[in-house]
Chains A and B, each alone.
Chain A
Amino acid sequence: MSVTAEEAWVRQAKAQSALSKLFDWKPFLVFVCMLPAAGLLLVFLTYPLGLGIWLAFTDTTIGRSGRWVGLENFEFMLEDPIWWNAVFYSVFYTGVATVLKFGLGLWLALLLNNHLPFKSMLRAIILLPWIVPTVLTAVAFWWIYNPQFSIISWVFIELGLRETNIDFINTAWPARWSLIAANVWRGIPFVAISLLAGLQTISPSLYEAALLDGSTGWQRFRYITFPMLLPILAIVMTFSIIFTFTDFQLVYAITRGGPVNSTHLLATLAFQRGIPGGQLGEGAAIAVSMIPFLVFATLFSYFALARRKWQQGESND
């Protein structure tokens, strides 16, 4: 046995051609391994990010390369009530939806953290709204919010709680709340399942110790569950905030920014000005105006991560 093994080893060593030697040379190997990922990301992510910022300072339209116009796009934007409205609604939408998503999501996670029958099946069902394409569920919500055939209106009228159909998406404020409801519906599963994973890492011995000390349920939540969950909560929240603030699909599918531009988010406004409207420069300026907010959220995430490592006593690798 050992003889054959040795033979095989010797043959291998001889067969090392120049090519395989090259692939064993670490700098070359690193270069080859990083090439596809770095290439794709640099060409289709970093470059367009820079190009977008540059476009924001030009008057490019579809089919005509623009010239430098300085801050003109931004000056126009600041005087545009529709942009201010989009800023307001983006912040409002993100704020309200995040609070609701995390309140309800945490509640659902705490419910799921009990001993339940069919637990893994429950978890699988709960994630469904998150994995199904947003636009397709948005179409379902559009049908649920239909002014004439809304099922919610029908139920309310049947129960005798209302006389007329509920107006969901045809006036400004109801439309804003309806969109937030759809976003919360879609976001709860992600928050709940991520927080559930966090809850399951908390050691039961902490709760036992607290029980021996005579703590109440609220105290156990406030002084054990919540602080232990905080690091993961911070990260999930950063992701949630970033992707809610830059949301596009739901609003585009249900209201397209209407009625009378009242539900435009910055992303839908940028799309409307940029692609169908053809004003690429202006659209890019609106998209760029989202960046300060995203930088803020990213810094938040970075410091939350650093804090977590510090808590666990890991080295920063």
Chain B
Amino acid sequence: MSATTEAPQTNAASAQPEAMTWDSKSRRMVTIYVPLACFLIILLFPFYWMTITAFKPNAELYDYNTHNPFWITSPTLDHIRLLLFGTAYPRWLMTTMIVAVCATFLSLLASTLAAYAIQRLRYKGSQYVGLGIYLAYLVPPSILFIPLATMVFQLGLFDSPLALILVYPTFLIPFCTWLLIGYFKSIPFELEECALIDGATRLQILWQITLPLAVPGLISAGIFSFTLSWNEFIYALAFIQSSENKTVPVAILTELVTGDVYQWGALMAGSLLGSLPVAIFYSFFVDYYVSSLTGAVKE
């Protein structure tokens, strides 16, 4: 049906080349650039709003009639000062950083070894282990946090960042292993055979041949793990009680929101500062991040 109605139009258009170029240009404008601009505005607006609120003095923040809310007339650093010197924010940032780095390191170590064993050593049943790890990725933290909380309590790790470092790998390892299996698959097996003939041990091969070739994969997995552990919320909320051991996402929600009067400026400043480390980290390695995201989906 639609073919018959569309066909004459294209014929008419090709008969008049000039009309077609103008038509296709404006058409392209309307069908591509306008929707794309709308998407960008909507996707970025909360960040703009977060930033502008963080630097607004309270007088402007709560008075939309005399000040245009979309702009700041007299920017202030008061909210950031309150956050950095009036709360334990630097401490929370530090805890989050330590937890994210340690959890990332631990999961990278474990998943590199596991991925190497599954993809390269190819023992009996390794494909089932691979499938099991894939399934482990589908187990969401929401159904694990209650039993994990009792376990953490019994192990005496309650209220300790160590609990988070040990628990975060449960959602990082499946992802990293899956990603690294894909990377190891792309490295030619012949390289390892050559090294074997030259008398290298298996560990030497892993350390000196396979790993250097898999560096892009390791970086992708590392960035992904770091951002995931930085963003993690439910475990940190359930396992940490004392104010000084909280991670940034939890602390902002539980420590800065006190009573009925919200310090919106400080809340936004806290959100902004808490987002910056991941955003900066991410901006250096965007391509690796995108390749890990899409690679994991395609695997």
Contact = CB atoms under 8 A, between A and B. Distances in A.
A37 to B, nearest CB: 4
Interface string A126-147: 1111011111110111011010
B138 A301 contact: yes
B86 interface: no
Interface string B248-279: 11101100000000001001101100110011
Given A126-B40, A271-B238, A141 B121 contact: no
Contacts of A298: 135, 138
- With most chain B CB atoms within 10 A of its CB, the pick from A16, A47, A48, A242 is A48
A185 B271 CA distance: 17
Contact of B231 (A116, A134, A294): A134
Contact of B43 (A111, A129, A267): A129
A23 B294 CA distance: 35
Interface string A2-34: 000000010011001000100110110110111
Given A144-B46, A275-B149, A298-B135, 7 more contacts: A35-B113, A51-B147, A52-B143, A116-B36, A128-B43, A216-B3, A249-B234
Q: B interface, by DSSP: helix, strand, loop or mixed?
A: helix
Contact of A139 (B43, B133, B252, B278): B252
A227 interface: no
A260 interface: no
A287 interface: yes
Interface string B114-128: 101100010100010
25 contacts: A29-B121, A29-B202, A30-B117, A37-B177, A41-B174, A45-B144, A49-B147, A51-B150, A111-B39, A122-B36, A133-B230, A136-B248, A136-B249, A136-B271, A140-B47, A144-B46, A185-B43, A190-B293, A197-B294, A197-B297, A242-B138, A270-B143, A275-B145, A283-B146, A298-B138
A129 B252 CA distance: 18
Interface residues of B, number: 93
A20 B201 contact: yes
A224 interface: no
Interface residues of A, number: 108
Interface string B271-299: 10011001100110011011001100110
A46 B49 CA distance: 42
Contact of A30 (B42, B123, B177): B123
Kindly list the 10 A-B residue pairs having the minimum CB-CB distance in the complex, ordered from nearest. Answer: A197-B294, A37-B114, A33-B117, A36-B110, A267-B142, A246-B140, A136-B271, A51-B147, A246-B142, A52-B147
A226 interface: no
Interface stretch (B12-20, B74-82, B162-170, B211-219): B162-170
